[in-house]
Amino acid sequence: MISVKQKAKIIKETAIHDKDTGSAEVQIAILSRRIDELAGHLKKHRKDNHSRRGLLGMVASRQAHLNYLKKNHPRRYSAIVKKLELKK
């Protein structure tokens, strides 16, 4: 789970303006961090299917946000993908 300080740091790094906490970029960055942490947990606990289901939901949510950005704001999409190193 992400601590409050870590989440604030992620928001500060990806926010578009000072009071931005809910833009697609911020949500994608937070989801990416949570996905990374949960993937590490699932490497140790392979049979934890409840957490696996949560992981799949987060991946789907992140993909929906990425699709929104790709369709409506291509520049912001390419910037966030490059910044978070999502596509390889």
Mean pLDDT of the chain: 95
Of the candidates 71, 43, 69, the residue with the CA atom closest to the CA atom of residue 84:
69
pLDDT (0 to 100) of residue 56: 98
Query: Are 66 and 84 contacting, i.e. CB atoms less than 8 angstroms apart?
Result: no
Domain CATH for 56: 1.10.287.10
For residue range 33-55, list pLDDT tens digits in order. 999 999 999 999 999 999 999 99
Identity of the amino acid at 1: M
pLDDT (0 to 100) of residue 1: 85
Total domain count for the chain?
1
For residue range 54-75, list pLDDT tens digits in order. 999 999 999 999 999 999 999 9
Range of the domain at 80: 4-84
Full-model pTM = 0.92
Statement: residue 13 has pLDDT above 70: yes
Which residue shows structure tokens 């390419």?
A: 78
- Dihedral, CA of residue 37, residue 65, residue 29 and residue 40, to nearest 10: 10
